[in-house]
Structure 1
C-alpha cells in the first residue's frame, strides 16, 4: 500500500517537492548539479534551528535527572524487593520535578516525518504525476536518489556514490563516538538501565544513525549527517549552560 496515494499525504509530498525544487532552482546558479544537496543542508539547518527550544528543554531534563540520581539510588535501595512500589515511587519523583525518564525523545520524533519525506522525495521517479527533477541532482557526482545498499546490491557500481556515502557514514561514526564518550548516562545503583549489558546497548544506539544511512537515499543520509553534527555541537553548548554533576 502506498500511503502517499492518500490525498492529504500526496498534497504534502507535492508541496515539499515544490519547496525543495524551488530552493534548488535558486541555488542552481551557485552550485549547479549539487543545488539539491545544498538545499537539503539548508532545510536541515532550518529544522534544527526550529528545534532549539526543544533542545534546551532536553538539556534541562538531563540536568534534572542527574540531580535526581542520588534520590533514585535511595529509592532503589529502599524498594528493591518491591518492583511495583519502586516504579510508582520513581514516577512520582519524576512528576514532582516536572520531568520524565523519557524526556528528550521529542527531537528524534519530530524529525522522523522530515526524514520520511526526504526518503520518499528521492526515491520516486514521479511526484504527483510529474517527473521528479530532484533525481537529476547529485553531490560530487553521486546521485542523491541512490543508497549505498542499492548500488552495491543492484548496481550499477558508481565510485562517487561509494566515496560520498562512506564519507558521510564516517562523519556520523566519528560524531557518534564523540557523543558516546562525552555524554555518558548517569548510572543509578541497582537499576536495570545501569547494568553492563544495558549500558552496552545504549552505547551501540549512538551508531544506529550511521547504520540507517546505509539504506536510505544519499539525500536522506546528508540530512542525517548534518543533524548529528548539529546535535553534538548543540549538546556541548547547552551542557555548558546546564551542567550536570559528575557522579562520584
Structure 2
C-alpha cells in the first residue's frame, strides 16, 4: 500500500506542494531559474521558525540534565549497590524537579511528521495524482530531483552536478564540525556499581556514546550524497539553522558551571 496515496496524507502533501510552488512563482522575478530552490530555502526557514518552541524546549531540557548531573552522581554513589533504591531515588529526584529522564525527546519526535512531509515533496514523482513539477526545477542547471550518488552511478554526473553537490556536502560537513566543537558533550560520572546501570541515568555517561555523537554530526553530509538535491538543500539549511539556534539558546539558557572537587 502506498502510504502517500492515503487521502489525508495525499491532501496534506498536495497543500504543502501548492505552498512551495506558490513561493517559487513569487520568487521567480528575483531568483529566475532557481526560484524553486529559493522556495525550498524559504520554506525550510519558515518551518524551522515554526519549530522554535521545540528548540527552546530542548535547550531547557539540556540545561536541566546538566543541573541534575551532580545530584544523580551523588545518588549513584550512595545507592549504587541497590539498583531498586537507586531507581526510586532517581525518579523521585526527577519528579521533584518537574521533569523526566526523557525530557527533550518528545520535541524531537514532533519534528518527524514535518520532516517527512517536506522530504516526500522532494522524492515523489507524483503528488495527489499530478506530476511533481518540483523535480523538474533546477539549481545552477542541476535538477532538484537528482542525487549525487544516482548521477555518479548512472554516469550522467556533469561538472555542475559535482560542484553543486560538493559545495552542499562540504558545507554540511563544516556545520557538523562546528557543532561538534561548540557543543562537545561532557560525560556524566559513571555509576558506582555495575548494578546501577538499570537506573534511568544519562547515556552520556558512556564514552563510546560520546564518540558516536561526534560521528553523527557528519551523518547528514553522507545522507546528502544520496537524497535528491532539493532534500540536500533542505538538510543544509536545517543544520545551519540548528547550529545558529543552539548557539543563541545556549546564551539564553546557559548550562550550569561544572565544579570539580
Check whether TM > 0.5.
yes
Distance 1:47 1:172, change over 3 A: same
User: Which 4+ runs in 1 deviate beyond 6 A?
Assistant: none
What secondary structure, in the 3-state scheme, does the structure 1 residue paired with 2:123 have? coil
Query: How far apart are the structure 2 equivalents of 1:58 and 1:91?
Result: 20
Q: Is the 8 A contact 2:185 2:204 kept in 1?
A: no
**CA deviation string 1:62-109 (max 9, x = no partner):** 112111111011112122233344344323322322223333334543
Q: Is the 8 A contact 1:54 1:106 kept in 2?
A: no
Residue 212 of structure 1 is aligned with which of 186, 207, 223?
A: 223
Gap runs ≥5 in structure 1: none
Match of 2:172 in 1: 172
Distance 1:114 1:145, change over 3 A: farther
Counterpart check, 1:195 vs 2:206: yes
Match of 2:243 in 1: 232
Gap runs ≥5 in structure 2: 192-202
The equivalences for 1:1-248 within 5 A come to 1-191=1-191, 193-247=204-258, 248=260
Taking structure 1 as the reference length, what is the TM-score of the superposition?
0.91
Query: How far apart are the structure 2 equivalents of 1:181 and 1:94?
Result: 29
Query: How far apart are the structure 2 equivalents of 1:84 and 1:164?
Result: 56
Tell me how many residue pairs correspond in the alignment: 248
Distance 1:84 1:170, change over 3 A: farther
Taking structure 2 as the reference length, what is the TM-score of the superposition?
0.87
Query: How far apart are the structure 1 equivalents of 2:223 and 2:243?
Result: 18
1:23, distance to aligned residue in structure 2 (A)? 1.2
Q: Is the 8 A contact 1:66 1:186 kept in 2?
A: no
